[in-house]
Amino acid sequence: MPVRKKDAQRALLLLEEYRNKLNHTEDRQLRLSIQRVIDIFQSNLFQALIGKPGSDPF
C-alpha cells in the first residue's frame, strides 16, 4: 500500500503531539526514538518519495 502525503502529514502531527505529552526524564528513550521518526518524516528524501512538490533530493 503506497504512503499518501495526507496520511504521512497526519502521522507526523500525531507523533509530535504524543512526543510532547511524554515525561522528559522517564520517557527519554521513547522521546528520542519518536524524534528520529519525526526527523525521517521531515527529511527531503521522505518528502520527495511521498510526492511533496519542491523537495527533490537530487
Cβ-contact 52, 5 below 8 angstroms: yes
Q: pTM score, two decimals?
A: 0.75
- Supply the mean pLDDT for the chain: 86
Task: Tell me the average pLDDT across 40-57.
Answer: 79
- Sorted by where each begins, the domain ranges of the chain are 5-50
- pLDDT confidence band for 53 (50 / 70 / 90): low
- CATH no. of 5-50: 1.10.287.470
Per-residue CA distances from 53 to 4, 9, 33, 39, 45 (Å): 13, 14, 27, 18, 12
